[in-house]
Amino acid sequence: MRKAAQPAPDFLKAHILISPDPYAESVMGEVRYELSSAGPLDSIRLDAHHMEFNRVEVNDVPAEYSAENGTLVMAGPGKAGVHKITISYQAFPRQALYFFGWKDSIAGNEQ
């Protein structure tokens, strides 16, 4: 017998704090999501290209997670309802965000 697919979470809110580090060409950040699910969630998958994770929490409790091939997979809350997800990370963007002039000797060239 085939296992029924779990419901897709509905992301209601996101609070995002970021701090760019132009010398490391990275962004440190924390995102806090509020999401709703109509049924139990055994896992949650998010795109996570070129990222390292410091902390992943579900409902303020550290969650098991893995980050491979551009995807963050974390243990879900296991029940329906509204839930909080907190992710602390460092990202190394390769497109859409660029750091120019931070590593050269030209004063005022930083962008």
Secondary structure letter of residue 104 according to DSSP? S
Secondary structure letter of residue 56 according to DSSP? E
Output the CA–CA distances (angstroms, integers) from residue 87 to 9, 76, 93, 100, 111, in the order listed: 16, 13, 17, 28, 27
Percent of the chain topping pLDDT 90: 57
For the stretch 57-82, pLDDT in tens is: 999 999 999 999 999 999 999 899 99
pTM > 0.75: yes or no: yes
For residue 9, the number of C-alpha atoms closer than 13 Å in the C-beta half-sphere is: 24
